[in-house]
Amino acid sequence: MEQQEGPKKKILIVDDDSFLLDMYALRFTQAGFDVETGVDAEDVLKKLRAGLAPDVCLFDVVMPGIDGFEMLEMINKENLIPKTIKIFLSNLGQEQDIARGKSLGAASYIVKANSTPSEVVTEVNKVLKDHGI
């Protein structure tokens, strides 16, 4: 896994599945990221409203209560993290899901079933590089 140069990038990973959340947190930590996690929209919104400003945010879509799409709509409406790169990481891989994610400002949409954790880290690094971060 490729290590980053310079200061650590901060990533916020949001997933209600604690096994997947821990696995992705470990992979990104190993890749040199400073990792924050959130288990649902309420948890994440509270952290963002308190001033957390990650370089990149990796959202699941399917979560109890407020889903990832609705959460990003709320984040956008409140202008909480305007400079943060937003990426969806979901098992929802239909064209309309991907289109909805991109219409909400997501820089990328990764389908979990089609990507290993290492490939997810590689894609996030690619998106950050493409955005000059």
Is the pLDDT at 2 greater than 80, yes or no?
Answer: no
Burial (CB < 10 A; 0-12, 13-18, 19+), residue 58, is buried
| 85-90 and 34-38 beta bridge pairing | unpaired
pLDDT band for position 115 (cuts 50, 70, 90): very high
User: Quick one: residue 51, left, alpha or beta (phi over 0 = left, psi -120 to 50 = alpha)?
Assistant: left
Instruction: Give the residue-averaged pLDDT of 18-34.
Output: 96
Average pLDDT of the chain?
Answer: 93
Is the pLDDT at 41 greater than 90, yes or no?
Answer: yes
pTM above 0.85, yes or no: yes
For residue 102, give the 3-state DSSP assignment.
Answer: helix
Is the pLDDT at 62 greater than 70, yes or no?
Answer: yes
Give the position of tokens 């079933």: 113
Distance CA 108, CA 98 (A): 9
Q: Report, at the CATH architecture level, how domain 10-128 is classified.
A: 3-Layer(aba) Sandwich (3.40)
Domain edges within the chain: 10-128
Is the pLDDT at 1 greater than 70, yes or no?
Answer: no
Instruction: Give the residue-averaged pLDDT of 86-112.
Output: 95
pLDDT band for position 5 (cuts 50, 70, 90): low
Is the pLDDT at 105 greater than 70, yes or no?
Answer: yes
